C-alpha cells in the first residue's frame, strides 16, 4: 500500500496550481501583446495619424482618442476616417476580433463592404498574425468614445477585394535586418506616400521609394521625398541624419518638415527597429 494514488485533496491542489500557472501565463501573454500593440500604435504603425479625433480646423483632439473624423478630400474621393474606439454604436465595439482582423488586414468590413483609400490595405496585408493580434488588443483596451462621423464617398470604383483571403502571415526573422526593415516600412506604410502614383492612382512599384506625391492640407503643400539610394535621395545622408528626419521631422539643416508624415509617432521607434528601417532604405535601388 505504499504506492497509493494521489489523495483527492492533493489532486485538487495540483489541478488548482496548474490552472493558476496557466492563467498567469495567459495574462503575461496578454500583457506582452498589449505592450507590443502600444509600441506599434504609438510608433511605426501610427493608425492614429489618420484615426485620431479631429476638431473643426483639423487639429488633433488627443483626449477623444481614435474616434475619427479626419477628412481626406481628393479629386476622386472624400474619405472620412471612422471611429475605431470600442463604442458599440459609433465605433467598432460590436465587431469580433476576427472581423477586426479582416477589416485591418484585408479591407473587408463585417457587412462585406470594402474599405476604401487612403487606408493602406495593400501594405497592411503584410501585418503578421502576432502584430495583428497586438493591434487588436490595443484597440480593445481603448476607452469607448461616442463620435459619429460622416460616411466616405468615392467617385471611383473600389476594388472587389485587395487579394485572396489571408489565413496566416508570418513575421520576418529578426536576424534579417533588411527584411525586418522592409516589414516595418510596410506596416508603417512609408512607401504608400514615398512611391509615385500613376494617373489612375496606383502605386508605381518599379519606382518604390522615389517620392514625388504631393500632399495638400492646412499646412499648405508638401512633397514626399526620394528615399532611394540615389544622390537625389538618401545616398549622402548619415544614419543619424535619416533617423533624425524620421523621428524629429527636421532636415539636415534642422528645418522642420511639414505633415502629413507622422513624425510625432515615429519618435518612439526603438533604435534596433530604426537601424533595420535604415538598412532597408539603403537597399532600395537608386532612382533619380
Ligand atoms: C492613411 C490614413 C489611414 C491609416 C494610416 C489607417 N486608416 Fe483605417 N481607415 C481610414 C479611412 C479613410 C477609412 C474609411 C474608408 C472608407 O470609408 O471606405 C478607414 C477605415 C478603417 C476601418 C473600418 C471602420 C468602419 O467603421 O468602417 C478600420 C477598422 C480601420 N480603418 C482601422 C485602422 C487601423 C487599425 C489602422 C492602423 C493599423 C488604420 N486603420 C490605419 C484611414 C486610415
Ligand atoms: C502620409 C505620408 C507619409 C508617410 C506615411 C511617410 N512619409 Fe516620409 N515624408 C512625407 C513627406 C510629405 C515628406 C517631406 C515633408 C516636407 O518636405 O516638408 C517626408 C519626408 C521624409 C524623409 C526626409 C527625406 C529628405 O530627403 O528630406 C524621410 C527620411 C522619410 N520621410 C522617411 C519615411 C519613413 C521611413 C516612413 C515610414 C516609417 C515615412 N517616411 C512615412 C510623407 C510621408
| Burial status of residue 125 (CB atoms within 10 A of its CB: 0-12, 13-18, 19 or more) | middle
- The pLDDT assigned to 56 comes to 80
Atom of ligand 2 nearest to the CA of 120: 5
Closest ligand to residue 86's CA: 1
**Residue 1 in this model has a pLDDT that exceeds 50:** no
Q: Are residues 62 and 180 in the same domain?
A: no
Task: Please say whether the beta carbons of 161 and 108 come within 8 A.
Answer: yes
- H/E run at residue 51: helix 48-51
- 3-class SS of residue 210: coil
Task: Please say whether the beta carbons of 107 and 121 come within 8 A.
Answer: yes
- The pLDDT assigned to 9 comes to 60
Q: What is the CA radius of gyration of the chain?
A: 22
Q: Are residues 66 and 140 in the same domain?
A: yes
- Cβ(74) – ligand 2 distance below 6 Å: no
Alpha-carbon distance of 81 to 159, in angstroms, equals: 19
Q: Is residue 192 part of a domain?
A: yes
- H/E run at residue 74: strand 71-74
Number of domains present in the structure of the chain: 2
The last residue of one of the domains, among 153, 171, 189, is: 171
Q: Are residues 39 and 147 in the same domain?
A: yes
**Residue 237 in this model has a pLDDT that exceeds 80:** yes
Q: Is residue 62 part of a domain?
A: yes
Q: Are residues 223 and 264 in the same domain?
A: yes
The last residue of one of the domains, among 145, 171, 197, is: 171
- Determine which residue's CA is closest to atom 32 belonging to ligand 1: 104
Q: Is residue 9 part of a domain?
A: no
- Determine which residue's CA is closest to atom 11 belonging to ligand 1: 81
Alpha-carbon distance of 29 to 167, in angstroms, equals: 22
Q: Are residues 241 and 123 in the same domain?
A: no
Mean pLDDT of 126-141: 97
Mean pLDDT of 60-79: 92
- Please give the distance, rounded to the nearest whole angstrom, from the Cα atom of residue 46 to the centre of ligand 1: 11
What integer best gives the mean pLDDT of the chain? Answer: 92
- Please give the distance, rounded to the nearest whole angstrom, from the Cα atom of residue 124 to the centre of ligand 2: 18
Q: Is residue 1 part of a domain?
A: no
Q: Are residues 249 and 232 in the same domain?
A: yes
Tens of pLDDT, residue by residue over 194-223, are 999 887 677 888 999 999 999 988 889 999
Tens of pLDDT, residue by residue over 96-116, are 999 999 999 999 999 999 999
Position with higher pLDDT, 158 vs 57: 158
Q: Which domain holds residue 131?
A: 27-171
- CATH number, domain of 226, equals 1.10.760
Q: Are residues 130 and 226 in the same domain?
A: no
Q: Is residue 12 part of a domain?
A: no
Q: Which residue has the cell 465587431?
A: 95
- The pLDDT assigned to 58 comes to 78
Q: Are residues 155 and 54 in the same domain?
A: yes
- Determine which residue's CA is closest to atom 9 belonging to ligand 2: 224
- The pLDDT assigned to 12 comes to 61
- The pLDDT assigned to 14 comes to 58
Q: Is residue 18 part of a domain?
A: no
Amino acid at each position: 500500500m505504499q504506492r497509493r494514488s494521489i489523495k483527492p485533496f492533493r489532486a485538487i491542489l495540483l489541478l488548482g496550481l496548474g490552472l493558476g500557472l496557466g492563467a498567469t501565463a495567459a495574462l503575461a501573454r496578454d500583457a506582452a501583446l498589449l505592450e507590443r500593440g502600444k509600441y506599434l500604435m504609438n510608433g511605426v504603425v501610427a493608425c492614429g495619424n489618420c484615426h485620431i479625433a479631429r476638431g473643426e480646423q483639423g487639429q488633433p483632439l488627443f483626449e477623444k482618442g481614435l474616434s475619427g473624423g479626419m477628412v481626406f478630400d481628393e479629386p476622386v474621393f472624400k474619405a472620412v476616417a471612422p471611429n475605431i474606439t470600442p463604442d458599440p454604436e459609433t465605433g467598432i465595439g460590436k465587431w469580433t476580433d476576427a472581423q477586426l482582423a479582416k477589416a485591418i488586414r484585408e479591407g473587408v468590413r463585417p457587412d462585406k463592404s470594402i474599405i476604401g483609400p487612403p487606408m493602406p490595405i495593400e501594405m497592411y496585408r503584410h501585418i503578421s498574425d502576432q502584430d495583428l493580434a497586438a493591434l487588436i488588443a490595443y484597440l480593445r483596451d481603448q476607452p469607448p468614445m461616442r463620435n459619429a462621423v460622416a460616411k466616405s464617398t468615392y467617385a471611383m470604383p473600389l476594388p472587389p477585394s485587395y487579394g485572396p483571403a489571408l489565413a496566416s502571415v508570418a513575421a520576418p526573422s529578426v536576424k534579417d535586418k533588411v527584411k525586418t526593415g522592409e516589414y516595418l516600412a510596410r506596416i508603417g506604410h512609408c512607401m504608400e506616400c514615398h512611391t509615385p502614383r500613376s494617373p489612375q492612382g496606383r502605386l508605381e512599384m518599379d519606382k518604390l521609394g522615389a517620392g514625388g506625391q504631393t500632399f495638400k492640407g492646412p499646412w499648405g503643400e508638401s512633397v514626399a521625398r526620394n528615399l532611394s539610394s540615389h544622390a537625389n535621395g538618401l545616398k549622402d545622408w548619415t544614419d543619424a541624419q535619416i533617423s533624425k528626419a524620421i523621428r524629429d521631422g527636421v532636415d539636415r539643416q534642422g528645418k522642420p518638415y511639414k505633415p502629413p508624415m507622422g513624425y510625432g509617432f515615429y519618435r518612439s521607434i526603438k533604435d534596433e527597429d530604426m537601424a533595420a528601417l535604415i538598412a532597408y532604405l539603403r537597399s532600395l535601388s537608386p532612382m533619380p
